[in-house]
Amino acid sequence: MARQELARFLRDRRAGLRPYEVGLMATGTVRRTPGLRREEVAELAHMSVDYYTRLEQARGPRPSPRILDALAQALRLTSAERSHLFRLAGSNPPPGSNVVRRVRPHVSRMLERLPETAAIVTDAAYGVVAWNPLAQALLGGDLARGTTNLARRRFLGQGQLHESSSTEEFGHIVVARLRRAADRYPHDPQLTALLAELDAHSEEFRQIWQTRPVHAPGHRSKTLHHPEAGTLRLNCDVLLVPEDDQEVVLITADPGSSAARTLYRLARQTA
């Protein structure tokens, strides 16, 4: 636990807040400093003033995750600031209670700037939450409905599934990620329903689930058999959006290859 750094961080964030920003009414007394008072933060975080004061003076005990969450809410911390607070206190920041199914605007805009790269964003339950036109042309028009889930597509055949050399490997990748999601979001109703559906209707899913596969996202190559574009040798690279537990999947081809020329042609057709 980095007590001095934690204390400094709390003081800085308290000083940067104004009473009206946290719903406190301005009083008639003139404040010597523009930020919140310690007793106001303590009240917002539902803790004693003495306890909070000791934290700011770097002489308090190691705060529990519940206390840290309360402080993050009281000080109106961003997701990144909340994670930093937990790390200063020597704790791992827990994820939110539900899978994040929205896409940050800057992530969506990034997909638009990749005209010759097929790109999708998947949430922790493998729902496709964003895509660009080339990805739709390459992976199937059902992406446009906005309800595509790659786990359902892989194990239940829902949606447009093209034959690929990585089909078996991808099954293990899907289960590994869903296992992580089940641990992180045990109370997410949509995820619970998805796992129950896969368990009820896919023997392959049940078998892989029992093996407890582990997978770290990174680079993969695969051969995709597209019904119109033919056989394509493609590269898949994954970028993480850690604050939302999402993955950006970038699908490209080696420069100068026949697959690269095909992607270029598809990109022109979808522009």
Q: Is residue 53 part of a domain?
A: yes
Q: How confident is the model at residue 135 (pLDDT cuts 50, 70, 90)?
A: very high
Residue 85, H or E segment: helix 79-88
Per residue in 226-235, pLDDT (tens digit) is 888 899 999 9
Phi, psi of 266 (to 5 degrees): -65, -40
CA-based torsion, 270, 232, 237, 185: positive or negative: positive
Domain end: 88, 121, 149, which one? Answer: 88
In tens, the pLDDT along 82-111 reads: 889 999 999 877 767 788 898 988 899 999
What is the pLDDT at residue 162? Answer: 67
Residue 98 placed within a domain: no
Q: Do both 48 and 110 map to the same domain?
A: no
Q: pTM, whole model, 2 decimals? A: 0.70
Between 16 and 178, where is the model more confident?
Answer: 178
Last residue of some domain: 53, 88, 123?
A: 88
Report the CATH number that the domain containing residue 79 is assigned in CATH.
1.10.260.40
Domain that holds residue 150: 105-270
Q: What radius of gyration, in Å, describes the C-alpha atoms of the chain?
A: 24
Please give the helix or strand (H or E) that residue 2 lies within, else none.
none
Does 142 fall in a domain? Answer: yes
pLDDT (mean) for 190-216: 95
Give how many domains the chain has, as a whole number.
2
Residue with tokens 């020597």: 90
CA distances from 158 to 107, 208, 265 (A): 26, 19, 27
Task: Measure the CA–CA gap between 269 and 250, rounded to whole angstroms.
Answer: 19
CA distance 100 to 84: 20
Are 95 and 185 spatial neighbours (Cβ–Cβ below 8 Å)?
yes
CATH label of the domain that carries residue 212: 3.30.450.180
Final residue before a domain boundary, out of 60, 88, 116: 88
Whether residue 68 is predicted with pLDDT greater than 80 in this model: the reply is yes
Question: pLDDT digits over 211-224, tens only?
Answer: 999 988 888 899 99
Q: How far is CA 258 from CA 165, 220, 226, in A?
A: 18, 18, 14
